[in-house]
Amino acid sequence: MVLALIDSMGWKKFRRIYVCYAALVRGFKLLGREILGLDDCFTKGKYPGQILTAVGTDGNNCLYPISFAIVEAECTESWKWFLNILVDDIDLPHDANFNFISDRQKGLIQEVESVFPRTDQRFCCRHIHENLRKTWRGDLYKGLFYRAAPATSVPYFNMEMKKIKKTNLDMFLLIIDIPTARWSRSHFSGRAKSDMLLNNLCESFNKQLVGARDKQIITCLEYIREYMTMRIVNVKKMQANARGPLTPQTTKAWDEIQTEASKLSVLMVDEVTYQDRTCKCRRWDLTGMPCRHAVATLFDMIKNNTHAGPLEKWVDEAYWLDTWKKVYNHQIRPIPGPDMWTPSKCPTTLTPPKHHTQIGRPKKSRKKALGEKKKLATIKKRKMKIEEVQEVFSVGGRLTRVGHEKTCGRCGGFRHNIRTCRAPSQP
């Protein structure tokens, strides 16, 4: 869908364009996970604007792009236009109990509430913490926040919030002012079958669009179409090598749950059934996968000759390999090149959008957080090996000078710097 603006001279000027492929919509309706990530990123070509995206998650816990649009700016009007078209494409009623996760973009929260009055909105915890660390820095405050957000039950959440209140009352008041149901797992509903706290789905999709963001509009659209087409092909290759009743990522998580469950002991009081698929820890409620407590009980039921059936049947159908294959059973058909396109019979000429000259040199890389800047600068300076870089980012600690010998910036000598260098200065 293309939206044009008629100017004072009577010319139709390009304003926005929305793209949603029918193959992706058909697959989305089979996902079984009622959650969508909403995000935006800048275009950096001749006509600057924004790319709005809607991304879901499949049974393999990977991104599943639904639709995207190129708009003139990130504002309430553009988000409302995007969401209203998205509703019609995915056949989602306005009173649906759906889940959206976002970074609290400008104008987005109000428009989601107006289009979907009964929806559940989640806020990316990373962006909430980035706002908190402007005032409260350090691992202490970061640890307090990231222990409260993943708490799956209300009692554990209240315990962590008491620790924050005891440590810093101002930080507690700022966090409690944000609706708890939007950032803590303890208050999430189980409809989405996802306990995600970060909007990494959209961030990953935006990363794939880096090569398209500095192109002309038609070239940008074609770049994104080719990426989506190739992604379906690559997923089908993964599916051909997959074995078992569950998707590959689900199988790994399922094996870890069974390993943890084998370490637990169960005291059987009466025959237990899990027809409601729920547990007091709420992990089963949130994700649709039995938690370690439920699996330990199922082990005990099998041990006591109580019929439990195959353990994989207790996992929600959204994670089954057959469901995953059905989702990607639709292809985006190729289209001929521009030379083969049928000329438009529209009598009105569509002129380009207004050209906004931005200040400074256009940037292609995303903005780095404060911690990332320090780590990347030190890594670049030391020319660290890839194994050392991975170890630093996996541990999350501070880089040290162990194993790195200091050199002088003037003469290149070791074990001294410019201030203590005795070499004669160059004329």
pLDDT tens-digit profile of 22-58? 999 999 999 989 999 999 988 887 778 889 999 999 9
> Is the same domain home to 74 and 106?
yes
Please tell me the distance from the alpha carbon of residue 69 to that of residue 74, in angstroms, as a whole number.
11
| pLDDT given for residue 366 in this prediction | 64
> Is the same domain home to 64 and 213?
yes
| pLDDT given for residue 397 in this prediction | 47
Q: What is the mean pLDDT of residues 377-399?
A: 53
Domain contains 160: yes
Domain contains 306: yes
Average pLDDT, rounded, for the chain: 83
Domain contains 275: yes
Domain contains 302: yes
Q: What is the DSSP letter of 276?
A: T
Q: Is 389 exposed, middle or buried (0-12, 13-18, 19+ CB in 10 A)?
A: middle
- The domain boundary, picked from 188, 207, 226, lies at 188
Domain contains 342: no
| pLDDT given for residue 370 in this prediction | 59
> Is the same domain home to 278 and 410?
no
| pLDDT given for residue 372 in this prediction | 61
> Is the same domain home to 115 and 133?
no
| pLDDT given for residue 269 in this prediction | 63
391 band by pLDDT with thresholds 50, 70 and 90:
low
Domain contains 77: yes
Note the helical H segments in 177-216: 200-208
Domain contains 352: no
Residue 20 CB: number of other CB atoms within 10 A?
19
pLDDT digits (tens, 9 = 90+) for 247-267: 999 999 999 999 999 998 887
Residue 344 has pLDDT above 80, yes or no: no
| pLDDT given for residue 403 in this prediction | 53
Closest CA to 153 of 267, 274, 291: 291
> Is the same domain home to 70 and 99?
yes
Higher pLDDT: 362 or 72? It is 72
> Is the same domain home to 107 and 42?
yes
Looking at the chain, the whole-number percentage of residues with pLDDT higher than 70 is: 82
> Is the same domain home to 110 and 206?
yes
Q: Say how many domains are in the chain.
A: 4
Q: Which domain holds residue 182?
A: 125-188
> Is the same domain home to 180 and 159?
yes
> Is the same domain home to 117 and 129?
no
| pLDDT given for residue 373 in this prediction | 59
> Is the same domain home to 26 and 139?
no
| pLDDT given for residue 239 in this prediction | 94
Domain contains 58: yes
Q: Greatest CA separation found in the chain?
A: 91
Query: Has this prediction a pTM greater than 0.85?
Result: no
Tokens of 94: 């306005």
